[in-house]
A and B are shown apart, each in its own frame.
Chain A
Amino acid sequence: MRILIIEDEARLAANIARSLRESAGYAVDVAADGEDGLFMAESNPYDVILLDLMLPRLNGLQVLKKLRAAKRHTPVMVLTARDEKESVVSLLNSGADDYLTKPFDLGELLARVKALIRRGKGQASPLLTVGDLEINTVDRTVRRSQRSIVLTAMEYRVLEYMAHRPSAVVSKTELLEHLYDYNWEKFSNVVEVYISGLRRKLNKGSVTPLIHTYRGQGYVLQQ
């Protein structure tokens, strides 16, 4: 999953980014003002955008409206220091999916981000299942037929992303875009490495393969 934080308080943005990376394994980008944030949001496929309201150049509400006007449906969570009813109502009406008032709890932020990701992908439960495969997105554990499977951080991120969109073809580029932030060089062959590792671990003691390759198009996770 890849998250964009648009927040001009560099320290706060860094803390949120660190928390998201460490406890959820998400790829996180940070934009320090509204214009940069809008540009990044429009040019990358983020899974959730965290948006501060008081921003230099372009304020949060303007960013939100422009994003929605450009038919970008990425879930947006607004971070605001104001908690008056009117401003919350106008935020939600302008296309925000959720909001948190400062100062907030990082744990709550993380839980809400996870919920937004699920709903953004059409999933309601934090427990993702594909056939006999179970992925718990809360404590990030994976089981197949009651057998626990230990994955590396990157393998889990690939699997979780694919599990959010079961039976859909996920291209290598899409995976790369959702797994890495700006600070990483993108080499498409690393995806193949993770996929083969995943296949090996998931298929241990089982006969039905779960990850299928569609040559030239990508991968599909299904029974």
Chain B
Amino acid sequence: MPTSSIRRRLILTMVLTQALLAAGLVFTGVYYTHRRLQFALDANLYARAMGVAALVRYPEETHQPLIFESSLVPGKDLAAGDLFVITAEGVGVVAHSPQWPQGLDVSPGRPYRKIKLARVPYRVLRLDKVPILDREEAVSNLPSTLTVIYATPLVELNRQVWRAGIYIALVSLIFLGITVLLALWGIRRGLSPLQDLAAEATHVSAQHWDFQPPREAELVAELRPLAGAMETMLQRLHQSFEQQRQFLGNAAHELKTPVAILKSTVQSLLQKPRTPVEYQAGLTQSLEDVERLEKLLKGMLRLARAEQWAYGTLKRNLDPVDVASTCEDAIEGLRGLAHAHDAEIKLNAEDGIICRADPEDLQLVWINLLENAVRYSPHGATVNVQVGRTDHRARVVVEDQGPGIPAEEIPLIFERFHRGDSSPTRETGGFGLGLAIAKALVEAYGGSITPESAVGQGTRMIVDLPLNLN
């Protein structure tokens, strides 16, 4: 992929605009100089034409032709290459400059025009009806007016215009160069906070998360949002990285224990020859160990998947589901556990509480909440499940008569692999994943789960889910 550089682009833009400006300046300068010089030349041309016309006078005798005082023509004008021809009606050519090319005819029309003679550009003025100054002696059979055609080469004017153009172009070029240098310096200075920011950002790694935006970058209005965004982004990344790392560490730890048990079971079985009964007992134990490992793996996968939903990576078409019936199914599934703990689960459900969810997911949430409730309940206690609604939300409350959760532990109960300190769950095969899974699932459906508990007063887990309103 071709890379682009802000600096290069800025400089290119600047050079292009400056060059355009310089071109405009050169053009305007040349045009203006040309106009001014031509204006002056035209005035000059007129004066010279009138000058030569004034040299024509009447003869003393009527039969003689008009007289032209050629000796009075200014020599420097002729030397500069000026050409002229004076004609009079009925007389023809009265006079002309020594180099007047034969056959050149300037038809009447615009007084000033440009022509080329032998590839040399000329400015030509044609003046008609120029009165002969010497009027008092006018002879009736001679014309009283003249036509003067005066031409002067444009070589000198063109050279001056050219020179002016070059001069302006050179000055523009010098200024362009200076601007580019200034821009380079300015851009480098202007971009240095960005480089500082980048340098600071390169120090960030999985081991080193400290990111302090350089002061210079914070002082630049355009960079402040970037620096701020990087800081918060890194904080969030760090947090989720730490969470993942902790989860991975916990997961590894939790996996090692059942593997250690399984390994020790098999090794102690192999330590010496045993009776078939002992082998059978050992294999049964190993199977139980493997099943426990499987349960843990399932829990971890379930959690990972639920969390993926929470981040919206899995979109699913969900059917309306009756919340009360998922509770009934969950309670049915926990009959055995409840019986073993001598606990009773009572359901008090309002009719027609409908949510959009996968019934299996909801069931799993209730099972996880109820398992905890039953396990922590004293013998002979009752676990109450209420299904109802509160402003557009379905509310399910699981209430136990257990020992309650110490206030400082409440924020920890949803953490993966967290177990209550006096928890009996290890003995009964819990991994501390149940509540984390329940929370991830509830949140995946846009709901919330709130624990209410105090030591000695039991625990209430309140689950709110969005109702299906149609």
A residues within 8 Å of B by Cβ? Answer: 8-12, 15-16, 18-19, 22-23, 32, 54, 56-57, 81-82, 101-107
Contacts and interface: CB of A to CB of B under 8 A. Distances in A.
B265 to A, nearest CB: 5
A109 to B, nearest CB: 9
B163 interface: no
A34 to B, nearest CB: 10
B105 interface: no
A103 B260 contact: yes
A18 B271 CA distance: 10
Interface in B233-289: 249, 252-254, 256-257, 259-265, 267-268, 271-272, 285, 289
Given A9-B426, A11-B285, A12-B261, A81 B271 contact: no
Q: Closest 4 A-B residue pairs measured CB to CB? A: A103-B260, A102-B260, A15-B264, A81-B256
A101 B259 CA distance: 12
Contacts of B249: 82
Contacts of A54: 253
B427 interface: yes
B265 A15 contact: yes
A11 B265 contact: yes
Contact of B426 (A18, A19, A56, A81): A56
17 contacts: A8-B427, A9-B257, A9-B260, A11-B265, A11-B289, A15-B267, A16-B268, A19-B271, A54-B253, A56-B419, A56-B421, A57-B422, A82-B249, A101-B256, A104-B264, A105-B263, A106-B267
B203 to A, nearest CB: 23
A102 B256 contact: yes
Contacts of A81: 252-254, 256-257, 260
Interface residues of B, number: 25
Contact of B261 (A15, A18, A101, A105): A15
Q: Which of A18, A56, A107 has the most CB of B within 10 A?
A: A56
B192 interface: no
A106 B426 contact: no
A91 to B, nearest CB: 15
Contact of A19 (B256, B268, B421): B268
Q: Which of A23, A54, A57, A105 has the most CB of B within 10 A?
A: A54
A16 B199 CA distance: 55
Nearest to B259: A103
A19 B272 CA distance: 10
Given A9-B261, A11-B285, A81-B260, A107 B422 contact: no
Given A8-B426, A32-B427, A103-B262, 20 more contacts: A9-B261, A11-B285, A12-B257, A12-B260, A12-B261, A22-B268, A23-B271, A56-B422, A81-B252, A81-B254, A81-B256, A82-B249, A82-B253, A102-B256, A102-B257, A102-B259, A102-B260, A103-B259, A103-B264, A106-B264
Nearest to A15: B264
A187 to B, nearest CB: 29
Contacts of A12: 257, 260-261, 264
B423 interface: yes
A73 to B, nearest CB: 28
B274 to A, nearest CB: 10
Contacts of A10: 427
A107 B289 CA distance: 20
Contacts of A57: 421-422
Q: Which of B254, B419, B421, B422 has the most CB of A within 10 A?
A: B421
A105 B267 contact: yes
A23 B56 CA distance: 149
A111 to B, nearest CB: 13
Contacts of B260: 9, 12, 81, 102-104
